[in-house]
Amino acid sequence: EAQVTQNPRYLITVTGKKLTVTCSQNMNHEYMSWYRQDPGLGLRQIYYSMNVEVTDKGDVPEGYKVSRKEKRNFPLILESPSPNQTSLYFCASVGTVHSMNTEAFFGQGTRLTVV
Amino acid sequence: DAKTTQPPSMDCAEGRAANLPCNHSTISGNEYVYWYRQIHSQGPQYIIHGLKNNETNEMASLIITEDRKSSTLILPHATLRDTAVYYCIVRPYNFNKFYFGSGTKLNVKP
């Protein structure tokens, strides 16, 4: 079954304690991205990756890092989380970078609370 | 970069067709229209997409006007499980992001 898997689903952490949210897809997709969703602000893109070792900033990259060492995984790293990063996070993957006729698959989300 | 305009909310009676409109007047010739929905706080779920012809799948139908400036998503027999936020998205050519906008909150009522 085609899947994007995020872990953990829920996380409560303290300010400044580094954390990683993992994202893995089993569809051999080239394109992956991270979004955060906040009330009234919709889904905003944090970072995206067009392929292995190719990453770029989205709309709200401050305070986040990503890596793409292998095609299936695209972890989101918060080096020093702050309360304003409390949010619902989604990972997404899309099949072919330059095809307009493919859909995006989303993970089930990670609800992060930074206290 | 608002590419689509949708009503903030709509009601629909269970068993009836739900017709969700979307305006995308600045759409380019090679841009597709996608529809996704988000139930509670789950990950957005793909529904359907199209370029210029009407499309139908097991979930819904998509009607795109001839000038491609607007479209309508049709859920033929809405159920309570269809209560969700529905997003109309115009897929940008540079492919870097999906602009989700605010979507339409569909409330299906018994």
Contact of B31 with chain A, judged by CB distance below 8 Å, is answered with yes
- The answer to whether the beta carbons of residues A114 and A82 sit under 8 Å apart is yes
Helices (H) and strands (E) in chain B, counts: 0, 9
Q: Which chain A residues have any C-beta within 8 angstroms of a chain B C-beta?
A: 4, 31, 33, 37, 42-43, 45, 48, 56, 58-59, 88, 90, 92, 94, 97-98, 100-101, 103-109, 111
Residues 6+ apart with CB under 8 A from A62: none
How many CB atoms sit inside 10 A of residue B74's CB? 16
DSSP single-letter state for residue B57: -
pLDDT in tens, A37-81: 998 888 899 999 989 999 999 999 999 999 999 999 999 999 999
Structure token pair of residue A71: 């095609």
For B70-90, how does the pLDDT look when each residue is reduced to its tens digit (9 = 90+)? 999 999 999 999 999 999 998
Q: State yes or no: pLDDT of B2 exceeds 70.
A: no
pLDDT at A98 over 70: no
Provide φ and ψ at A54, rounded to 5°.
Answer: -120, 105
User: In Å, what is the CA distance from B68 to each residue of A113, B27, B28, B86?
Assistant: 42, 7, 9, 19
Looking at residue A80, the DSSP 8-state letter turns out to be: S
Cβ-defined contact of B41 to A103 (cutoff 8 Å) = no
Contact residues on chain A for B98, CB-CB shorter than 8 A: 43, 45, 92, 104
Q: What are phi and psi of B50, to 5 degrees?
A: -160, 165
Q: Does residue B32 contact residue B49 with C-beta atoms inside 8 Å? A: yes
Q: Which residue of A has its CA nearest to B94?
A: A98
- Residue B28, pLDDT > 90, answer no
Give B71 to chain A, closest Cα distance, Å.
Answer: 17
